Amino acid sequence: MASFLEQKFGLKGKVALVTGSSKGLGLAMARALAQSGADVIVNGRDAASLAPVVKELASYGVKATAIAADLGRRADVERLIGEAIAWQGHLDILVNNAGIIRRAPAVSHTDADWDEVLNVNLNGVFTACRAAGKHMLARGSGKIINTASLLSFFGGFTVPGYAASKGGVGQLTKALSNEWAGQGVQVNAIAPGYMRTDNTAALQADAGRSKEILSRIPAGRWGEPADLEGTIVFLASSASDYLTGQVLAVDGGWCGR
């Protein structure tokens, strides 16, 4: 008989797709899902960068594969979801993690940067949710976890496109939950705090800004990708079946200040 933890948090037999999972937060979440028993599809723009990730995930005794796609192109997103479903005949968990950031004061933030950020961070997320949601609704079950941000709650500085996109992700999460929760599909989001990733490299390199950020984090440190592992497994598992429409901050206490 399966233990309580296996019944509630185990993901054996589930198929998960994690976008933007060649490194950073996405890789950490894909790793956690695989270690919890899920078969995992990883995604990125560059197929070559995904090969070592597939090899690592398969070493945990699950099936793993890679599908390259550009989340800023709707046709690519729709193809990605279709191929993900076709791989094992079903898709149980979708983690919309792929995202980009462009830094510039609002008055010099170009249309090209704005469009690129919104296309990947918001349009791509909606397109993926719509395609996967249709499949999950037909099956009567599914978990969608979007990657939001602390800027889903705050405005930030010199990242107007990113802030707008992540605010949109938070509201999209709630809107989809309102429509789908009664049909067995839970939609939630994780809002990571200040994490050590490529997206925050500029902040980490700015001694003054980095000190300012660290001084406001009650946990006393920047977050690491591994800090999301427990949250992603919880949201992907049956342990969270009555949790929906939430944007969970994993931020070392930042939002409590």
Rounded Cα gap, residues 6 and 11, in angstroms = 8
pLDDT score, position 2:
76
Whether 202 is in a domain gets the answer no
Whether 75 is in a domain gets the answer yes
Q: Is the pLDDT of residue 36 over 80?
A: yes
Q: For position 172, which CATH number holds?
A: 3.40.50.720
Tokens of 181: 């929760």
Whether 242 is in a domain gets the answer yes
Split into its structural domains, the chain has a count of 1
Catalytic residue status for 194? no
Ramachandran region, residue 140 (left: φ > 0; alpha: ψ -120 to 50; beta: rest):
left
Q: Domain limits at 55? A: 4-196+225-249
For 81-109, write each residue's pLDDT tens digit. 999 999 999 999 999 999 999 999 999 99
pLDDT score, position 211:
87
For 194-220, write each residue's pLDDT tens digit. 999 887 888 888 888 888 889 999 999
pLDDT band at 232; cut points 50, 70, 90: very high
Whether 205 is in a domain gets the answer no
Whether 61 is in a domain gets the answer yes
Q: Which one of the listed residues 60, 162, 194, 242 is annotated catalytic?
A: 162
How high does pLDDT run on average in the chain?
Answer: 96
Whether 212 is in a domain gets the answer no
Whether 28 is in a domain gets the answer yes
Q: What is the pTM of this model?
A: 0.96
Whether 114 is in a domain gets the answer yes
Spatial CA neighbour of 141 closest among 92, 178, 95, 94: 92
